[in-house]
Amino acid sequence: MQGFVIEGGTELKGEIMTSGSKNAALPIMAACLLVNGEVRLDGCPCLSDVYSSVRILSCLGCRCELRGGVLTADAKAPTSDYIPDRLMRLMRSSSLYLGACIGRLGSCTLSYPGGCELGARPIDLHLAALEKMGVHINESRGVLECSCPNGLHGAGVSLSFPSVGATENVMLAAALAKGETVIYNAAREPEIADLARFLRCCGANITGEGTSVIRISGVKALHGCEYKVMPDRIVAATYLCTAALAGGELMVTNSRACELRPVIDVLCEAGCDIYGYDDRIYISRKRPLKAVKTIRTMPYPGFPTDAQPLITAVLARARGVSVVAENIFENRFRANPELVRMGARIRTEGRIAVIEGTDRLYGARVMASDLRAGAALTAAAVSAQGITELGGIEYIDRGYERLEKALSSVGARITRTKI
């Protein structure tokens, strides 16, 4: 199988640039289906999930081309409202095409989405919200036939949990619906705000993004535009955590410290020096890492669950005992058993991990089982003594543009090869 061979033990030094955000680009690509015109999307990351989105858009009749990080999409004449199961299973965010398809065409047939096995990952909140907007959903053997016999209309939607995907799906459906939709307890992630900015750039009427109440007044049509995707804050967090583990100093460009405050605070508490500027973050770690007070993952602006595997890897080398509580996904400690193979001392029970830091990790043969677990193992291997063989890198490719090349450019020794 394809894997990374990582020779650990070198400090990082230099400048590294983050790509455009996967979790902003994916909903924005779904939103292209709503647009009666051509969209040019700059800063589109070259990732397998983005390629999967191009396949879904093309299947719906949207003309798509991705070249050198620029996506051009033309949905003047969608030809289908059906998304085959094999495409739905490619990733979690395929579910966002429900809102976009319903919004543009008034109907959609799809199955449940795939994605990383972080837990059940139901879409009940998405479906309940869309039903309030007039969507009729007929489910049979995992296939959802969705239609709006009386038209799609605005509604007041209260989310029992500030779900990112459910917030995005409602925004997509509401953009062209009749009347006003208000989302209460909306997710506040920066990627939601990026989607709102993109939709407004196409003529949508949206306010309140970044707060818990988002208002969307449907318009008759959306026009084409040019837009640049926001930087990927989790890729930035990945580079910061890798530098914290390996030691040395790094300037992470195309990144915004204001979007990573909880992660930066924890890394400073662990003994790193970090300075945030408008579009870059500087980190240096010269002293041994030390344990931190309990970390709890929460919806934004709390500590991001996507950075939890990475900070767990950092704390595996922090002197003292740290505790991490994973409050978002029920199965998001999948890197921990692999970190233990590398010499980490981690006890995982349900949603709690107790980490007794050790001075050294050792190279081992380990497997990634989801995107951020793979990134965490890569970061740990860069700082470990000896050689690590990391399998399952197809998960890493879902969210990182050639992670091995990026880290090698600042001193890591990683090759992509058969293992």
Residue numbers at the binding site for ligand EPZ (CB under 6 A)? 22-23, 26, 92-93, 116, 119-126, 161, 163-166, 189, 305-306, 328-329, 371-372, 399
Q: Which residues are catalytic?
A: 116
Is 52 or 305 the residue whose CB approaches ligand EPZ more closely? Answer: 305
Is 119 or 320 the residue whose CB approaches ligand EPZ more closely? Answer: 119
Smallest distance from ligand EPZ to CB 36, Å = 25
The token duo for 77 is 């004449």
> 3-state DSSP call for residue 410?
coil
- DSSP per position, 76-144: SS----B--HHHHTT-GGGGHHHHHHHHHHSEEEEE------SS----HHHHHHHHHTT-EEEEETTEE
Whose CB is nearest to ligand EPZ? 165
Is 144 or 371 the residue whose CB approaches ligand EPZ more closely? Answer: 371
Smallest distance from ligand EPZ to CB 368, Å = 12
Q: Measured between alpha carbons, how far is 252 from 247 in angstroms, rounded to an integer?
A: 14
Specify the pairing of strand 70-74 against strand 273-276.
Answer: unpaired
Q: Single out the residue of 319, 368, 316 nearest to residue 342, CA to CA.
A: 316
Is 122 or 142 the residue whose CB approaches ligand EPZ more closely? Answer: 122
Smallest distance from ligand EPZ to CB 365, Å = 24
Smallest distance from ligand EPZ to CB 15, Å = 24
- Residue 37: CB atoms within 10 A of its CB come to 16
Unique residue bearing structure tokens 């500027």: 277
Is 16 or 164 the residue whose CB approaches ligand EPZ more closely? Answer: 164
Q: Strand ranges (DSSP E) for 326-392?
A: 345-349, 352-356, 365-367, 387-391
Q: Which residues pair with 138 in a beta bridge?
A: 145
Smallest distance from ligand EPZ to CB 195, Å = 10
Q: Single out the residue of 10, 14, 414 nearest to residue 249, CA to CA.
A: 14
The token duo for 297 is 């993952």
